[in-house]
């Protein structure tokens, strides 16, 4: 039987092995000869000049992404909501460690990642992974520490490595995040002027410059107290995991035009009222258009000034070939029967057959005779989607007010993102018909989780979220602390509870199956005693004194979820437990994994588990009295379930 590793995968070794498979001569004793590799790739190795982006600590940051850890995620059922049925996750802990632990369970499974990392404005707290000061000294100099005393520090501009520390923080996290994206996945990263240049270079390096999609600009507000310019905008960098995959799949991104549903409802009402009197229907629609403010996002729809049984339309579209040099062929006027005037740039459609198809479908409008150039007709209800603009108007004050309402008008979190903005982005990128996973590993106030639930309620989608947040303590004098919230994670979880309840209540019967729950998992040290990883340091006498290789405070659920991570299983599947001959047996996702962690289990239990033929089975080391019993287990599974993978922890 195999022994599980109970540590995150060694990404660096895995990458070296991949290089060795293609270029076996460049790897010796686990080390890559990069000069030889460059030569084999046709690169002349003469000197060391190259276009590159670097900073103090970059090599360490790159190495950190591949360094394995010996930690685990412990389930916390009591802080969860709808544990047994939900497929959403809320994970507390340093997101670097969490991303490492998720590498196998969610490799290539996340459709969309949105993050709002620290902007590095001089007041942000950054993650530090190897802080060595004493806790008291750390507290005195930097003002905050987590339970380990080594995770956060305030990155002030007086720090000699102000930008470098930020770059070292974000780099390994993005490397690990990229691994989790599906082939057609997309990552979006909010940032401001302080680090947008650095983030662009880092993401170009990790994702590839060819996978850059857009830099969105969030126009938030005007600052009248600004000395020179009112900088009231932020950015959002967008990258594909693989632009080539997107192109090969023929995928395009489109969003519903604002106001189309409203116009459609009014059109149906007017048509029913006026019995297809199109002049009166048209007057009614124009009245609706006129009621919208001048700068309203719906205002462009007012250009659809004509109406018939197909709804509002406009017939002023250019029928010329874009850029000129298009095809020129004969098109007869439907009334006069004479050839129409041909546009100087050529016809928009590549051949006469395509032109006749468009005419037949009513998309070409002719003038009174052949001397007038035909035009393109566009029906509003057929062209009801559009590409999203790169400039987005978002009002920070509105987002804050909406957030405060959730918490009884108490300001427990500063500068939350707009739920509507994130919801629009998720709607734009994901499909309600797919069970897409949305990940946010700088979860903050859990706006992304709120947006996912709201969108699912509106379009019937089955999207799932994974939120990751360090339990960063709330300042003692903050409104959050006064309201009883010890850390940001508590705020995020409470927001999901309150927002989810409100969404389901407002949606009524249409949201009976809406998932507003979440499983809470918390990052912790490994379940195993140190001897489990360093047995060679112990002599035989000491090993005999070891009664158990699992820490005393760990439960069956802790062990089960560690096994899920080690085997690379999703953490949100159904889980049941039952008693068999007095022993507790866990069944994960109907046989994906069956486990029994009780001591001295009987052959009856082992045989019952084997007869169910699970894909995987796991037992505790002290589930058996000795080696003969372990061998017997192997024989039972060979006989009854030869295809089951069996492990002992």
Task: Please say if the pLDDT value at position 524 is more than 50.
Answer: yes
Confidence class for position 429, pLDDT limits 50, 70, 90: very high
- Give the DSSP H or E segment for 12: helix 11-22
CA distance 389 to 503: 28
Task: Please say if the pLDDT value at position 393 is more than 90.
Answer: no
Structure tokens at 602: 């009987």
Domains of the chain, residue spans? 260-386, 541-648
> Closest Cα to residue 116, out of 62, 161, 173?
173
DSSP string, 361-416: TT-EE--SSTTSPPEEEEETTTS-EEPPPSEEE--HHHHHHHHHHHTTT---SSSP
Beta strand residue intervals within 33-79, DSSP E? 71-75
CA distance 498 to 413: 15
Question: Rounded to 5 degrees, what are φ and ψ at 525?
Answer: -65, 165
CA distance 248 to 274: 48
pLDDT score at 9 = 81
Average pLDDT over residues 506-512: 83
CA distance 307 to 610: 69
Task: Please say if the pLDDT value at position 296 is more than 50.
Answer: yes
pLDDT digits (tens, 9 = 90+) for 132-191: 334 444 344 444 444 444 456 566 665 556 678 899 999 999 999 999 999 999 999 999
Which of the two residues, 147 and 388, has the higher pLDDT score?
388
The H-assigned helical ranges of 430-580 are 447-459, 479-482, 488-507, 540-545, 556-567
CA distance 211 to 213: 6
The H-assigned helical ranges of 275-395 are 278-290, 352-360
pLDDT score at 543 = 47
Average pLDDT over residues 92-111: 96
Alpha carbon 304 to its chain centroid, in Å, reads 37
Cα dihedral 545, 551, 552, 554 in deg (nearest 10):
-150
Which of the two residues, 388 and 608, has the higher pLDDT score?
608
Structure tokens at 182: 């599906």
Q: What angle do CA 252, 253, 256 make, to 5 degrees?
A: 130
pLDDT score at 130 = 46
Average pLDDT over residues 465-473: 95
Question: How many CB atoms are closer than 10 A to CB 621?
Answer: 15
Average pLDDT over residues 322-344: 93
Crossing angle between the packed helical segments 627-640 and 603-611, to the nearest 10 degrees: 30
Q: What angle do CA 540, 544, 546 make, to 5 degrees?
A: 120
How distant, in Å, are the alpha carbons of 287, 572, 589 from that of 84?
52, 9, 11
- Asked if 119 and 90 touch (Cβ cutoff 8 Å), the reply is no
The one-character DSSP state at 532 is G
Beta partners for 28? Answer: 31
pLDDT digits (tens, 9 = 90+) for 366-387: 999 999 999 999 999 887 777 8
Question: How many CB atoms are closer than 10 A to CB 406?
Answer: 21
CA distance 458 to 453: 9
Please, which residues have CB within 8 angstroms of residue 459's CB and are 6 or more apart in sequence?
A: 427, 432
Weakest mean pLDDT among 90-94, 99-103, 504-508: 504-508
pLDDT digits (tens, 9 = 90+) for 471-498: 999 989 999 999 999 999 999 999 999 9
Please, which residues have CB within 8 angstroms of residue 151's CB and are 6 or more apart in sequence?
A: 94, 127, 128, 129, 131, 145, 470
> What b/e string do you get for 407-436 counting C-beta neighbours within 10 Å, with b at 16 or more?
beeeebbeebbbbbbbbbbbbebbeeeeeb
CA distance 437 to 181: 9
CA distance 327 to 332: 16
pLDDT score at 49 = 66
- Out of 136-145, 334-343, 381-390, 541-550, the most confident range is 334-343
pLDDT score at 157 = 62
Beta partners for 186? Answer: 112, 240
- The chain-wide mean pLDDT, for the chain, equals 87
CA distance 603 to 598: 13
- Give the DSSP H or E segment for 265: helix 260-274
Average pLDDT over residues 400-410: 92
Percentage, residues of the chain above pLDDT 70: 88
Average pLDDT over residues 395-423: 90
> What b/e string do you get for 442-456 counting C-beta neighbours within 10 Å, with b at 16 or more?
bbbbbbbbbbbbbbb
Alpha carbons within 13 angstroms on the beta-carbon side of residue 481 total 7
CA distance 135 to 146: 10
pLDDT digits (tens, 9 = 90+) for 13-51: 888 888 888 887 788 767 888 887 887 787 776 666 667
CA distance 52 to 168: 16
Crossing angle between the packed helical segments 58-66 and 11-22, to the nearest 10 degrees: 90
- Asked if 594 and 609 touch (Cβ cutoff 8 Å), the reply is yes
CA distance 543 to 29: 32
Q: What angle do CA 318, 321, 323 make, to 5 degrees?
A: 105
């Amino acid at each position: 039987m195999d022994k599980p590793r109970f540590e995150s995968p060694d990404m660096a070794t895995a990458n070296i092995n991949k290089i060795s498979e293609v270029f076996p001569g460049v790897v010796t004793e686990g080390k890559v000869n990069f000069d030889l590799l460059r030569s084999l790739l046709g690169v002349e190795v003469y000197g060391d000049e190259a276009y590159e982006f670097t900073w103090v600590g970059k090599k360490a940051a790159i190495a950190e992404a591949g360094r394995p850890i010996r930690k685990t995620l412990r389930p916390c059922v009591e802080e969860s909501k709808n544990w047994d049925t939900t497929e959403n996750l809320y994970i507390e802990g340093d997101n670097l460690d969490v991303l490492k632990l998720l590498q196998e369970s969610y490799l290539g499974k996340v459709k969309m990642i949105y993050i709002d990392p620290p902007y590095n404005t001089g007041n942000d707290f950054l993650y530090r992974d190897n802080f060595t000061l004493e806790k008291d000294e750390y507290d005195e100099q930097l003002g905050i520490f987590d339970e380990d005393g080594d995770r956060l520090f305030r990155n002030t501009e007086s720090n000699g490595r102000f930008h470098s520390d930020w770059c070292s923080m974000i780099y390994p996290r993005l490397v690990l995040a990229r691994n989790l994206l599906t082939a057609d996945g997309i990552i979006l990263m909010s940032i401001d002027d302080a680090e947008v240049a650095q983030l662009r270079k880092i993401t170009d390096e990790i994702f590839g410059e060819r996978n850059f999609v857009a830099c969105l600009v969030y126009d938030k507000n005007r600052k009248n107290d600004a000395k020179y310019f009112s900088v009231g905008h932020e950015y959002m960098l967008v990258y594909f995991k693989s632009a080539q995959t997107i192109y090969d799949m023929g995928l395009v991104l489109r969003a519903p035009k604002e106001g189309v549903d409203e116009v459609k409802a009014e059109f149906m009402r007017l048509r029913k009222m006026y019995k297809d009197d199109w002049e009166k229907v048209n007057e009614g629609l124009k009245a609706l258009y006129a009621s919208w403010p001048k700068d309203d996002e719906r205002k462009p729809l007012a250009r659809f000034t004509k109406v018939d049984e197909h709804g509002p339309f406009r017939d002023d579209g250019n029928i010329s070939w874009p850029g000129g040099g298009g095809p020129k062929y004969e098109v007869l006027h439907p009334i006069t029967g004479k050839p129409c005037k041909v546009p100087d740039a050529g016809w928009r459609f590549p051949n006469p057959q395509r032109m006749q198809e468009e005419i037949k479908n009513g998309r070409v409008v002719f003038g009174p005779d052949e001397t007038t150039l035909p035009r393109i007709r566009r029906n509003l209800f057929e062209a009801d989607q559009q590409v999203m603009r790169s400039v987005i108007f978002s009002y920070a004050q509105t987002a804050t007010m909406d957030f405060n309402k959730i918490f009884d008008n108490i300001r427990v979190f500063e500068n939350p993102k707009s739920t509507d903005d994130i919801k629009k982005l998720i709607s734009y990128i994901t499909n309600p018909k797919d069970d897409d996973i949305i990940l946010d590993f700088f979860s903050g106030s859990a706006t992304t989780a709120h947006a996912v639930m709201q969108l699912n309620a509106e379009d019937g989608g089955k999207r799932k979220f994974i939120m990751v947040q360090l339990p960063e303590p709330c300042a003692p004098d903050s409104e959050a602390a006064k309201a009883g919230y010890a850390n940001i994670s508590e705020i995020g979880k409470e927001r999901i509870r309150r927002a989810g309840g409100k969404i389901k209540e407002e949606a009524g019967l249409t949201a009976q199956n809406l998932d507003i729950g979440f499983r809470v998992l918390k990052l912790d040290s490994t379940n195993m005693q140190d001897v489990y990883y360093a047995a060679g340091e112990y002599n035989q006498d000491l090993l005999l004194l070891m009664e158990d290789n699992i820490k005393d405070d760990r439960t069956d659920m802790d062990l089960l979820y560690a096994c899920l991570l080690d085997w690379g299983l999703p953490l949100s599947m159904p889980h049941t437990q039952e008693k068999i001959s007095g022993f507790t047996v866990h069944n994960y996702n109907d046989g994906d994994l069956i486990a029994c962690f009780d001591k001295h289990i009987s052959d009856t239990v082992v045989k019952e588990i084997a007869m169910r033929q699970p894909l995987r089975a796991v037992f505790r080391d002290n589930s058996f009295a000795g080696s003969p019993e372990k061998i017997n287990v192997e024989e039972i599974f060979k006989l009854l379930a030869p295809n089951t993978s069996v492990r002992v922890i």
